[in-house]
Amino acid sequence: MIITADPGQDVTLTCRAPNNNIMIVEWSRADLRHEHVFVYRGGQFVPEEQHPSFKNRVDLQDRQMKDGDVSVILKNVTAADSGTYECRVQRDGYSSMQLMDIITLSVAPPPGPGPGTTEGGVSRGRPGLIASHFLCFLLLAL
């Protein structure tokens, strides 16, 4: 799944496990190495394993994880949040984590001014163009 967002938006990264016997939930991004986007283990969130850039910005969409819903909400996204996210779950009776979903998030940079304009939309002009207009004016004046 691919999600596109604007900076400042809250984004839901959706993921479902097959049943409610969920022991561990891990959301990760490959470039974070050993730290995670979000970890839930033993009935609670584990902040020690979370990458600092995600502190206080990620939470389960449904803390009860009804119907296996282990989706998370990522708040106030920035371009730095762009990347590929993986949702893994360990269910009761299983000895390892299982990959449930992969989501690519693309956060567009904020719109900037177009060529030849400033942030207020005023034309900056082009030095070469201005100089050529000035030369034409001088020649006509002579």
- Per-residue tokens: 52: 């600092």
Measured distance CA(46)–CA(24) in Å, rounded? 10
Residue 27: pLDDT band by 50, 70, 90 thresholds?
Answer: very high
- Residue 47 domain-assigned? yes
**Phi, psi for 134 (deg, rounded to 5):** -65, -40
Domain span holding position 52: 2-107
Q: Is the pTM of this model over 0.85?
A: no
SS3 4: strand
pLDDT value of residue 106: 95
- Residue 67 domain-assigned? yes
- Residue 137 domain-assigned? no
- Residue 138 domain-assigned? no
Reported as a single tens digit per residue, the pLDDT across 127-141 is 443 444 433 333 344
- Residue 128 domain-assigned? no
Question: How many domains are contained in the chain?
Answer: 1
- Residue 28 domain-assigned? yes
**36-49: average pLDDT:** 92
Domain CATH for 15: 2.60.40.10
